[in-house]
Amino acid sequence: MLTMVYLPSARRLTVIVVKAVNLKIMDITGASDPYVKVSLWQGGKRLRKRKTTVHRRTVNPVFNEALFFDVAEEQLSLSNLMVQVIDHDRLVPMSSSKNLQPCWPFVVPQNLFFLLATVFR
């Protein structure tokens, strides 16, 4: 679960990562060590990435963390966010293996940013 807020006066997009539930078990201990990586993309290039802290031995982490991105209002409609939940112990990213995939890979579409930009004009 996450929330996004754009503050035009500060030119700042805030992504609040609240929690995840029922994540895939990735460790032999019957749990996972998840964290969330949020990447800001424009024109097929990753501009910035932010990560939450790792929550050890849980499949139901509560993050309650704010991740900040400085983005000009006119750039919002050209931007995408990629949100990935990743297990900390994996040597390869979960998304690069056929058997191991991020629990919730999610791309925030450009039209959502357009909606955010329109609301704050």
CATH of the domain at 114: 2.60.40.150
**Quick one: CA torsion of 41, 103, 25, 27, rounded to 10 degrees?**
-20
Residues 15-74 pLDDT 10s: 999 999 988 888 888 888 999 999 998 888 999 999 999 999 999 999 999 999 999 988
Range of the structural domain that residue 18 is part of: 2-119
| Model confidence at 119: pLDDT above 50 | no
pLDDT of residue 108: 60
The mean pLDDT of 71-82, rounded to a whole number, is: 87
Q: Answer yes or no: pTM beyond 0.85.
A: no
95 Cα distance to chain centroid: 14
Q: How far apart are CA 77 and CA 115, in angstroms?
A: 8
